[in-house]
Structure 1
């Protein structure tokens, strides 16, 4: 009897094992063939008349097709088309009428918003499409253009296949702020509501206005209060802002011992800590910043092999970092009265009861908060050379 029961149980187990394997061989019911898709690799959103927006996209073209922008090999890479609608979804629907293949957003990693659209204060309505649609990725990068966003997509880059790829790789190298869709969502819904996006400008080579002699550059940072752009800061102030946010704008920083002399440090490690404090009704924040790295260029007469001189160099670079932060604080915290630094979050975590009293008028409290910056720079090594040529 026991043998018979064992054989029955063994047969049942084998049946379910075979059945489970069959389920794995059913294929993907939601599979999308590439030859059925028009793959979007970059998108620009601009303000239009009558409260409408213009959606401009770069669509990847198979090499066998003709037309569109040309690569260095002479083969087409992308084509650019636009459509107008009441919002992104409506504009995308109108754009779909021009394609025999279904528009696919899963490979679009670059979204550029025009300056005019960003300044009217409803950017969140357009980003809502990117958030809700199942195809766009939360690690896509967001940008603001200095002018029309569609102009940026018209640029023909010299090294990459399309301009979206240029911007993405610049972000990955921390040229300017590196802000993803997820990052921006978190900032605009944070306690203070301050946010930022990298600002793209068009650089003309040798004052040449021809399209082939222009390139996109990160020319500062756009500052937002929630989803409304309220101002911009330049590259120096952007460095200070990003350092407070524990981000490196670029790995090299430079100190100035004397007029006409420079010393540059390549950062290997950086760390920022915000310490909020409320004492006798006065609010303050101390910013602790640690930076460590190696000398990559000595454009001074200082012998950096001397420990005494190494300390001097560290002080010069600390001063440069502090100056950039002070400029960012003056321009953004005091001037624009907005908090993309993260001060509100720090106070909320440490003083939740006090935060509840000021959260509805944080822009009034913010300019009166005293901020102290303490920067510490450590030179780990002097570089490969031990002497200067002077």
Structure 2
């Protein structure tokens, strides 16, 4: 083959990649939505909310976002109806978060979120949250700190922003992983409207299959963070009116099968430092460590009871039994988890207490009589 013919053949091969770009619409002809809300609309119908960021006006007199809502018998039908109303092409590739009403979550999220997998237009790293109180205030109020639509929710949950251990962050792909994996279930944050900051965390919902079956408080979420190794180093725990900063944590998990029942032993360790004392009293490290151990162990026992009663393994402990339970029994793991023997032991270490302000009658007299 001559050099000229080889060059022509190479050019023809490159032309094969061009048709994939011809159907892409110009960005000026697309509306990029950044947040989706799904709530019941009466009967079997649903209402879909969408929020679009807009270029901010020069005079600042107008909102920097556009909100639209649409009802339909299914989520897909509502989205199709939205497309008929919009002057530009609907683009969901920049979505940042999906809000699902708690009433729908209790029925099961699959009928309302399955479109994201089948349509493949919504990013799988979109954040998921359960909401109560309706979508109106969440979607129609401007962000109090000035971020664009969708970015506020990302910053609220992500650890590089305002995320803490009490704000469990869950992506779209993680909630489907928990649904399709019989050896673990998912934990999704529950938001309620707030008069100053749009919303706040009320707790974290746990699921069995795709239905919400219960909720743990933000304080109880600390147990989930410790066991799963997601603990934030900036979490503050209070015991005996002392503020403590948890610097790091670790958990050793030992599993076994006895008489056909799982036996799970969790040995957690916390390293802490003292932030302040509310009463300025002398502090004994041993007493404070014992108080923290007792508080968190009692809280862990309560969380284990709740999740076992609902057969929801939010900790993913079933994955540690893959070599001990035959694959044919994986579908029975929720039943096995509910009957498992769970032991949680905590050893905390107070690394330093800093300078202690002792009470002296002539410097800071007690107000207590």
CA contact (8 A) 2:174 2:186 kept: no
CA contact (8 A) 1:145 1:152 kept: no
Compute the RMSD of aligned alpha carbons: 3.3
Query: What residue in structure 2 maps to residue 89 of structure 1?
Result: 76
Query: What residue in structure 2 maps to residue 98 of structure 1?
Result: 85
CA contact (8 A) 1:153 1:164 kept: no
Cα distance change, pair 48–25 in 1 and its aligned pair in 2 (3 A): closer
Query: What residue in structure 2 maps to residue 352 of structure 1?
Result: 325
Indicate the SS of the match to 2:304. helix
Cα distance change, pair 361–280 in 1 and its aligned pair in 2 (3 A): closer
CA shift digits 1:145-200 (9 cap, x unpaired): 12324442233331033563332212102351110011111111122452221000
CA contact (8 A) 1:254 1:264 kept: yes
CA contact (8 A) 1:58 1:80 kept: yes
Indicate the SS of the match to 2:85. coil
Query: What residue in structure 2 maps to residue 377 of structure 1?
Result: 348
Q: What are the equivalent positions in structure 2 for 1:274-293 lying under 5 Å apart?
A: 274-293=253-272
CA distance in 2, matches of 1:62, 1:389: 57
Structure with the bigger percentage of helix: 1
Query: What residue in structure 2 maps to residue 57 of structure 1?
Result: 50
Matched, 1:203 2:194: yes
CA contact (8 A) 1:265 1:297 kept: no
Q: Out of 152-161 and 40-49, give the one that drifted further.
A: 152-161
CA contact (8 A) 2:184 2:317 kept: no
CA shift at 1:226, angstroms? 1.3
Q: Which runs of 5+ in 2 are unaligned?
A: 360-369
Cα distance change, pair 154–328 in 1 and its aligned pair in 2 (3 A): farther
CA shift digits 1:266-319 (9 cap, x unpaired): 42x333343221124442111232333443334465667xxxx44544333333
Q: Which runs of 5+ in 1 are unaligned?
A: 1-7, 67-72, 205-212
CA contact (8 A) 1:193 1:226 kept: no
CA shift at 1:366, angstroms? 2.7
Query: What residue in structure 1 maps to residue 222 of structure 2?
Result: 239
Q: What are the equivalent positions in structure 2 for 1:1-390 lying under 5 Å apart?
A: 15=7, 19=11, 28-29=21-22, 31-64=24-57, 73-121=60-108, 123-161=109-147, 164-172=150-158, 173-174=163-164, 175-192=166-183, 194-204=185-195, 213=196, 215-248=198-231, 251-256=234-239, 258=240, 261-267=241-247, 269-299=248-278, 301=280, 309-334=284-309, 336-347=310-321, 349-353=322-326, 356-357=328-329, 359-382=330-353, 385-388=354-357, 390=359
CA contact (8 A) 2:50 2:67 kept: yes
CA shift at 1:45, angstroms? 0.5
Indicate the SS of the match to 1:49. coil
Query: What residue in structure 2 maps to residue 210 of structure 1?
Result: none
Cα distance change, pair 250–147 in 1 and its aligned pair in 2 (3 A): farther
Q: TM-score, normalised by structure 2?
A: 0.83
CA distance in 2, matches of 1:50, 1:254: 44
Cα distance change, pair 85–25 in 1 and its aligned pair in 2 (3 A): closer
Indicate the SS of the match to 1:235. coil
CA distance in 1, matches of 2:252, 2:77: 44
CA contact (8 A) 1:264 1:298 kept: no
Aligned residues: 353
Indicate the SS of the match to 1:337. coil
